[in-house]
Chain A
Amino acid sequence: MSAEQTSLTKAKETPAASGSPLLEVTGLTKHFPVMGGFPFKRQVGAVQAVDNVSFTVGAGESLGLVGESGCGKSTTGRLVTRLYEPTSGSIKYLGQDITHAGRKELAPIRSEIQMIFQDPYSSLNPRHTVGTIITNPMEINGINPPGGRDARAKELLEIVGLNPEHFNRFPHEFSGGQRQRIGVARALALNPKLIVADEPVSALDVSIQAQVVNLLQGLQRELGIAFVFIAHDLSIVRHFSQRVAVMYLGKVVEIADRDSLYSSPRHPYTHALLSAAPDADPDNAAAERIRLTGDVPSPLNPPSGCRFRTRCWKAQEKCATEEPPLIQLAGNAEGHLTACHFPEDGSSKPVGASSVPKARDAAELKPKAAKAEGTPKAEGTPKAAKAGAKAEGKAEAEGKTEGKAEGKAEAEGKTEGKAEAKTDAKADAKAKGEKSED
């Protein structure tokens, strides 16, 4: 262990000295092609899963990626670990460009960037013993730790809080939480400097989640491992990550230090997410929550300009025509970047009295916003649905569902605000719905 630690610390110092962060992602884009057409298939569109995403992760730092399902956070994780081939942009690891690195070039780096998966049941080979699962990565990478691989595997089992005597057991003999620990041990087997954890606790029971979170936190502190922590649970991300990036429809809409982001969110989406997070304390007033309406639009044909505008209560003409850059707004803390034309008042608490008038605004502004985007939407939706119909593969079903959902769900602006505003929005939306039916 101690030898382990020193070597890790050394490795940590190198990048710090050279000045480049551990991981630097610039303009990362992943478009999954959608095939269709007749009689010969060709690419008819692309699911824009990740679009122009940039962030850095320092050594030993944890960056949280949050967002609704389909926002591209998992895809980003898989791009970073190079499980997917990026469409464009660059990924630099310790200053070295690995965006399109081949198998050989990647080999030494693969061992330093590891991944933990969401599902502890399907991510472990049921026919391998725990020992094999953990020693396999060492074998593949030709790593021979002092004392042998088996001894190292037992040591790792102990680090993750499992009994080393369980070395010869099979995954099915363990509970979900224990399996996730095995997954962590496997990731640690190669002394990684960066672990991409894709929803590592969301499949676990509540009482077990904290065990795994604490384990990962301990690893981060003691071994200096950096994390890209992907989760949809804002509380856990806040607890685990020093910096947090909020993603929406393939784009980072806000990125900031934890305290800055959670205490003064500037992007309306961040604000809405924070206010929707359920809170177990009955004394925290929650009646005045912002409710987002409808679903996330289809990544096949995302809205022009700001992608969030179709669900945003602040959206205006400008939002449809001009994409807001991810910049540091006046009044933001250092490193707090927001992509919004009409940012929130940073001083507001995410959950508190000041959001009451906002919720009302949301309700009242909704009809207007809906009207503003009425025209481009009417054009967009059928196209998306059509492309979806032709779509193939995994993206297909989602594409179609979302493509349809987009236009239709939005047509009816069900805003949970004040009652009178609600009916207004509904009336307007009904009118709009009939129009688009024609």
Chain B
Amino acid sequence: MSTLTKSESGTAPKAGSAFLSVHDLQVRFRTEDGIVKAVNNLTFDLEKGKTLGIVGESGSGKSVSNLAVMGLHNPRNTTIEGSITLDGQDLLRASQKDLEKLRGNKMAMIFQDALAALSPYYTIGRQIAEPFMKHTGASKKEGRDRAIEMLRRVGIPQPQTRVDDFPHQFSGGMRQRAMIAMALVCDPELLIADEPTTALDVTVQAQIVDLLKDLQQESGTSIIFITHDLGVIREIADDVLVMYAGRAVERGTMREVLKSSQHPYGWGLLSSIPRINASVDIPLMPIPGTPPSLLNPPAGCAFNPRCAYRELVPGDKCETERPPLAPANGHLSACHLTDEQKQSILTEQILPRLSS
């Protein structure tokens, strides 16, 4: 554990320069079956105006860690340790009242399923105006005007009439836009986007990604973009964090992670998605097995039961010792393979498969 923190601090940007700083975050849920270690030793920083992409499968802890940032977990069965600092303010020690003041104001969140995330009983306009009225003390009239303005900003046509529509009267893409408007109504400095494009068609997905990029350029918002789609990561992220079984297994710039991944899981992800321009004769290389249960994660490296390169590590190190997130060939990766091994696997086995 201590080695981990040390290696972290060596490469992490100086404290204070980061807008959001998550340090050694642990999230545990108590369930009937036992304690779920949803997030472990997660550390990352996000600068102003930058986008961090978080990649991972369901159950990798990517959503949970961000709910913890927002303080939206259920306090009854969740314990959180570590620290989350937003612009110098410690969020884990903030009171509910203070958090309420921050949420929707300084930090906001958009969700995957816009239909479910918007209440069916209230108009789009009211739902957008609500946080604005709460955080700025604006009147109903001002709230409504602001909602219309926000709808216009996210590209909803005829906002002055659509503002009175209910969510079910919007199409999927427009609902997502409306939710973005709702999140951005108080000009948040941090926006957490939890798989906002996953449920959308490619054409709409491209529209939403462009919209988020435009809005970020206008207002300098920092974005955490959670997705499992590496294609979307490539479009929007500056930095990428790859999570597996509640831990960060790789962290680097978008280009580093997508072009010179240093972790077997990253390699697995890259070779299991078909490329639109790759040769169709190369079969996909799926990652065998299934993601582990977080109730009882494998000892050592959590990825070891599915890893194709386990034999290259001497002894049973993979099964007994958890690899620290340490620098390897330019960015951080948590794997026992030596730098040379990683580099040679990457250049000899992985990259040839990716380029046709």
Chains A and B touch each other in the complex, with CB atoms below 8 Å apart: yes
Contacts of B290 in A (CB 8 A): 175, 177-178, 208
Residue of B at shortest CB range from A292? B203
Contacts of A281 in B (CB 8 A): 234, 258-259, 275, 354-355
Contact yes or no, A282 B206, CB < 8 A: no
The CA of A213 and the CA of B291, in the complex, are separated in Å by 18
User: Is B180 located at the chain interface by the 8 A CB criterion?
Assistant: no
- Knowing A206-B57, A235-B274, A274-B276, the reply to whether A280 touches B231 (Cβ < 8 A) is yes
User: Is A277 located at the chain interface by the 8 A CB criterion?
Assistant: yes
Stretch in contact with the other chain, from A130-138, A146-154, A398-406: A398-406
User: Is A416 located at the chain interface by the 8 A CB criterion?
Assistant: yes
B288-304 interface bits toward A, Cβ cutoff 8 Å, 1 = contact, 0 = none: 10110000000000000
Q: Measured between C-beta atoms, what is the minimum distance from B61 to chain A in Å?
A: 14
Contact yes or no, B228 A206, CB < 8 A: yes
Stretch in contact with the other chain, from B188-196, B216-224, B277-285, B335-343: B277-285
Q: Measured between C-beta atoms, what is the minimum distance from B355 to chain A in Å?
A: 8
- Knowing A402-B171, A411-B158, A433-B158, the reply to whether A210 touches B286 (Cβ < 8 A) is yes
- Knowing A207-B268, A217-B283, A262-B276, the reply to whether A295 touches B173 (Cβ < 8 A) is yes
Per a CB cutoff under 8 Å, which of A208, A283, A416 touches B286?
Answer: A208
Residue of A at shortest CB range from B271? A210
Contacts of A291 in B (CB 8 A): 203, 206-207, 210
Q: Measured between C-beta atoms, what is the minimum distance from A380 to chain B in Å?
A: 16
Contact yes or no, B273 A277, CB < 8 A: no
Residue of A at shortest CB range from B306? A207
Per a CB cutoff under 8 Å, which of A206, A282, A401 touches B168?
Answer: A401
Contact yes or no, A280 B173, CB < 8 A: no
Residue of A at shortest CB range from B207? A291
Residue of A at shortest CB range from B202? A276
- Knowing A205-B58, A279-B276, A416-B207, the reply to whether A232 touches B202 (Cβ < 8 A) is yes
Contacts of A365 in B (CB 8 A): none
Contact yes or no, B273 A437, CB < 8 A: no
Q: Measured between C-beta atoms, what is the minimum distance from B5 to chain A in Å?
A: 29
Contacts of B254 in A (CB 8 A): 282
Contact yes or no, A429 B157, CB < 8 A: yes
Interface residues of A in 278-296 (CB under 8 A from B): 278-284, 286, 289, 291-293, 295
The CA of A83 and the CA of B158, in the complex, are separated in Å by 40
Contact yes or no, A273 B202, CB < 8 A: yes
| Contact count band on B | 35 or more
Residue of B at shortest CB range from A280? B230
Residue of A at shortest CB range from B293? A175
User: Is B235 located at the chain interface by the 8 A CB criterion?
Assistant: yes
Contact yes or no, A235 B273, CB < 8 A: yes
The CA of A286 and the CA of B206, in the complex, are separated in Å by 11
User: Is B87 located at the chain interface by the 8 A CB criterion?
Assistant: no
User: Is B272 located at the chain interface by the 8 A CB criterion?
Assistant: yes
Interface residues of B in 223-252 (CB under 8 A from A): 228-235
Contact yes or no, B291 A205, CB < 8 A: yes
Residue of A at shortest CB range from B232? A278
Contact yes or no, B158 A238, CB < 8 A: no
User: Is A168 located at the chain interface by the 8 A CB criterion?
Assistant: no
User: Is A408 located at the chain interface by the 8 A CB criterion?
Assistant: yes
Q: Measured between C-beta atoms, what is the minimum distance from A349 to chain B in Å?
A: 9
Residue of B at shortest CB range from A177? B290
Tally of contact residues, A, Cβ under 8 A: 60
Contacts of B123 in A (CB 8 A): none
A178-208 interface bits toward B, Cβ cutoff 8 Å, 1 = contact, 0 = none: 1000000000000000000000000001111
User: Is B201 located at the chain interface by the 8 A CB criterion?
Assistant: yes
User: Is A239 located at the chain interface by the 8 A CB criterion?
Assistant: yes
Contacts of A404 in B (CB 8 A): 165, 169
The CA of A240 and the CA of B273, in the complex, are separated in Å by 12
User: Is A8 located at the chain interface by the 8 A CB criterion?
Assistant: no
User: Is B162 located at the chain interface by the 8 A CB criterion?
Assistant: yes
User: Is B102 located at the chain interface by the 8 A CB criterion?
Assistant: no
Contacts of B170 in A (CB 8 A): 401, 405
Which has the most chain B C-beta neighbours within 10 Å: A205, A410, A429?
A205
Contact yes or no, B258 A280, CB < 8 A: yes
Contact yes or no, B275 A279, CB < 8 A: yes
- Knowing A351-B277, A401-B170, A401-B171, the reply to whether A282 touches B255 (Cβ < 8 A) is yes
Q: Measured between C-beta atoms, what is the minimum distance from A410 to chain B in Å?
A: 8
The CA of A239 and the CA of B168, in the complex, are separated in Å by 35
Per a CB cutoff under 8 Å, which of B172, B203, B269, B283 touches A276?
Answer: B203
Per a CB cutoff under 8 Å, which of B201, B274, B291 touches A69?
Answer: B201
Residue of A at shortest CB range from B152? A412
- Knowing A262-B276, A282-B258, the reply to whether A272 touches B203 (Cβ < 8 A) is yes
Residue of B at shortest CB range from A414? B155
Interface residues of A in 228-245 (CB under 8 A from B): 232-236, 238-239
Q: Measured between C-beta atoms, what is the minimum distance from B180 to chain A in Å?
A: 14
- Knowing A210-B273, A239-B274, A276-B202, the reply to whether A282 touches B161 (Cβ < 8 A) is no
Q: Measured between C-beta atoms, what is the minimum distance from A381 to chain B in Å?
A: 11
A308-344 interface bits toward B, Cβ cutoff 8 Å, 1 = contact, 0 = none: 0000000000000000000000000000000000000
Contact yes or no, B258 A278, CB < 8 A: no
Q: Measured between C-beta atoms, what is the minimum distance from B155 to chain A in Å?
A: 5
Interface residues of A in 34-81 (CB under 8 A from B): 68-69
The CA of A367 and the CA of B247, in the complex, are separated in Å by 50
Residue of B at shortest CB range from A404? B169
A411-438 interface bits toward B, Cβ cutoff 8 Å, 1 = contact, 0 = none: 1101010000000000001000100010
Contacts of B276 in A (CB 8 A): 234-235, 238, 262, 274, 277, 279, 350-351
The CA of A343 and the CA of B291, in the complex, are separated in Å by 46
The CA of A284 and the CA of B277, in the complex, are separated in Å by 10
Contacts of A258 in B (CB 8 A): 280
User: Is B182 located at the chain interface by the 8 A CB criterion?
Assistant: no
User: Is B64 located at the chain interface by the 8 A CB criterion?
Assistant: no
Contact yes or no, A405 B286, CB < 8 A: no
Contacts of A409 in B (CB 8 A): 157, 171, 174
Which has the most chain A C-beta neighbours within 10 Å: B157, B158, B172?
B157
User: Is B270 located at the chain interface by the 8 A CB criterion?
Assistant: yes
Interface residues of A in 75-111 (CB under 8 A from B): none
Ordered by A's residue number, 10 sampled pairs between the chains whose C-beta atoms are within 8 Å are A69-B201, A205-B58, A205-B228, A207-B272, A232-B201, A262-B276, A280-B258, A292-B203, A350-B276, A351-B277
Q: Which residues of B contact A (CB under 8 A)?
A: 57-58, 155, 157-158, 161-162, 165, 168-174, 201-207, 209-210, 228-235, 254-255, 258-259, 268-270, 272-277, 280, 283-288, 290-291, 354-355
Q: Which residues of A contact B (CB under 8 A)?
A: 68-69, 175, 177-178, 205-211, 213-214, 217, 232-236, 238-239, 258, 262, 272-274, 276-284, 286, 289, 291-293, 295, 350-351, 397, 400-402, 404-405, 408-412, 414, 416, 429, 433, 437
Known: A206-B269, A280-B258, A281-B234. 17 other contacts (CB 8 A): A208-B57, A213-B284, A236-B274, A239-B284, A262-B276, A276-B206, A277-B202, A277-B276, A278-B202, A278-B231, A279-B275, A281-B275, A282-B258, A292-B207, A401-B168, A404-B165, A405-B171
